[in-house]
Structure 1
Amino acid sequence: MKYSAFENFVSKSRLERYLVSCGYSQEKAMMLYGANLRVSKAFYPVLNLFEIFLRNGIDDKLGIYFSDSEWIINQKVGFMNDASLGPKFWLKTQVHKAQTDLRAKGMKGKILAEQSFGFWTCLFEPKHYKLLEGYVIHCFPNKPSAVNRNYLALTLKEIREFRNRIYHDEAICFNEMNIDFKHAKHIQNGLYDLLKWMNPDLSDFVNQFDNIEKEIEDALRI
């Protein structure tokens, strides 16, 4: 495809950073755009599996904490309804929305799976963490003693923001106008740290589907 046609479909503004970082070589800019997509694609299985493991790990721990396997539904009138979370009561609203959507589709269950990644990561934010008496930290039984709620919350926030960039087809290959995958590598390392702290076997399992290193190496050859 000619660059002019590619630019027309992708947009000039979106391609500008690629063009500048490649010394205004249109051919290299197109190659880098493709490389960015391939690195992003390589992150998909790692991010997807991490989200599943985190969600189910939290569900397991909170099921124990509340002595209730249906806590996500029943806590709409419990901690999710605490006055400190008002006036929007975001968690409760998300659960209610999932229930409404599933009923409209004639489906049952799946309330857990319907929740966004942000739903789970926000449980490590101070206001929710306090209401849960810090119990969600038990999702990471193998974490170093120096790792606290704040560290976990910041790491999860970075992962969530990076995930959103990928899911919205944003560039992950730059530092300012330079081709740089250091932040992507930082996120990858953070993901594996958290996986190991949940269970070392999870890290080994995810690694089978991880092609990130190779795609970054190929991208840096452009």
Structure 2
Amino acid sequence: MPPANQTDYHAVVAAKISGPRLAPYLAATEGNVRRALTLYQWSVELSGAVYECLHRFEVILRNALDEQLCRWNAVQRDRQTGRSHSSDWLMDPARLLRRLAGDDIRKAGRRAQTALRGAARAPGHPDVLAQLSFGTWRFLLPDNDPGRQHLWNKALAAAFPSLTGAPSDLVDHVDHIYKLRNRVAHLEPLLNSSMVADRLARMRTVLLAIEPALEMWFVSRQRVTAILKTKP
């Protein structure tokens, strides 16, 4: 229970949260510590709801792209040996994937080994896949790099069969979502309700491009919209 002196209670909490972290909330509440703490708690709750959405979104995006990369990798041949690659693009990546995502794959492989330390098996495709970051998927999408454009044309475009806009619009959506994920991961304030609502809409747009039923499922379970309405 808080001490009888509520002023002291809020002062203690504010001090432990720290001045720099509480500063945006104090600025938004004209320096009122109690209201700033209420706003801080609301932002924490919103961050949790946003993270739930990001969790679902990232898993769906990851699996959609992984499926197409497996298909593409299976029809690639090593230029020097003529050997056909397997469908496992994480364990046996073709040359283009080694260039575009080789570092990410190696780091994910090491993280998978650490996670399985003590287990009686080596990391497999699902283990390494789970350790790849959102940034891997963001930066496999097309840009001015001819290799990324080739990979989009030959493989990744098929992950978005219901895409109606330009690929560049899709990349822009994913980029904004990627930046929101970084913001949430670093516990930064989410005080801009319009920004959060926009990113939620972008997630819905990308999911619609993958499969409309996934977007319906996503919307039916998200809490962001309800929490935005309760902003103090």
The residue aligned with 1:34 is 41
The residue aligned with 2:89 is 71
Greater Cα shift, 182-191 or 98-107: 98-107
Distance 1:97 1:46, change over 3 A: same
- SS of the aligned residue for 2:139 comes to helix
Which structure ranks higher in relative contact order (CA pairs < 8 Å, sequence separation ≥ 6)?
1
The residue aligned with 1:141 is 161
The amino acid of 2:160's aligned partner reads F
Q: Contact (CA 8 Å) 2:56, 2:218: kept in 1 or not?
A: yes
The residue aligned with 1:103 is 113
The residue aligned with 2:172 is 154
Q: Deviations over 1:19-41 (max 9, x none)?
A: 11112211110000000111111
Q: Contact (CA 8 Å) 1:22, 1:29: kept in 2 or not?
A: yes
Bigger Rg, which one: 2
- SS of the aligned residue for 1:142 comes to coil
1:50 aligned to 2:62?
Answer: no
Offset at 1:46? 1.3
TM-score (norm 2): 0.81
Aligned-residue sequence identity (percent) comes to: 22
TM-score (norm 1): 0.85
The residue aligned with 1:120 is 137
Q: Deviations over 1:77-124 (max 9, x none)?
A: 511344xx6xxxxx2122122223333424522111110010011111
Question: Any gaps of 5 or more consecutive residues in structure 2?
Answer: 3-8, 75-85
The residue aligned with 1:93 is 103
**In 1, distance between residues paired with 2:49 and 2:111?**
31
Question: Which of 129, 140, 149 is residue 130 of structure 1 equivalent to?
Answer: 149
Distance 1:120 1:57, change over 3 A: same
Matched positions, count: 204
Question: Which of 11, 32, 39 is residue 4 of structure 1 equivalent to?
Answer: 11
Note the aligned Cα RMSD (angstroms): 1.8
